[in-house]
Structure 1
């Protein structure tokens, strides 16, 4: 009876092996499902990018507005009858940074060479 139980247990293990660890196992299915969800997200992003590029190509082929906008922004072009104004934004000057310098000598009697020369009126 004990041998029969061991044989049946081994038979169950042999039958379950492909289900859990083999070529088409649950583990492989879970891994493939994770890869599929990642690829679906990436495909969605690429699809949005392709739609934007397709719209830009259509606009460049059919309309002159996109061409004119690119010429203005990228090449700095203006029409013949236009006057170009460029507004420069100026920043207020930054506050000067005071850095500590060398320590000056203590005040005391000055020699004639160190005194400033008198000014003539």
Structure 2
């Protein structure tokens, strides 16, 4: 009976080892779970960025105000009859 108990204890220890530290064990499961959560967060950020880009594309295709705003900011567009003023800040002189 004693040998049977030792054999069963050895089998139990072997199974516990494989469960906790073996291939596809709980340690690897937790690593994969954390990786999946990080990827889901990254995907949520990319979905929101894509939605913003799609809204901007739609606005550029349908509205002239967005095109004019981009032309003014990026290309320095000035309409005929407008006056452009550039304000430069002067450096404070040391006494």
Q: For the superposition of Structure 1 and Structure 2, which TM-score range results when normalised by the shorter chain?
A: 0.7 to 0.9
Root-mean-square deviation (CA, aligned residues, Å) is: 1.8
* Residue matched to 1:53: 53
After TM superposition, give the deviation of residue 91 of structure 1 in Å: 2.5
TM-score if structure 2 supplies the norm length?
0.83
Distance 2:27 2:81 in 1: 71
After TM superposition, give the deviation of residue 34 of structure 1 in Å: 0.7
* Residue matched to 1:72: 72
After TM superposition, give the deviation of residue 39 of structure 1 in Å: 1.0
* Residue matched to 1:84: 84
Unaligned runs of 5+ in 1: 97-121
Asked if residue 31 in structure 1 is aligned to residue 31 in structure 2, the reply is yes
Unaligned runs of 5+ in 2: none
Number of aligned positions between the proteins:
95
* Residue matched to 1:105: none
Residues 1-36 of structure 1 deviation map (CA, whole Å, 9 limit, x = unaligned): 321221111221333344223343211211111111
After TM superposition, give the deviation of residue 78 of structure 1 in Å: 0.7
Higher relative contact order at CA 8 Å, sep ≥6: structure 1 or structure 2? Answer: 2
Larger Rg, first or second structure (1 or 2): 1
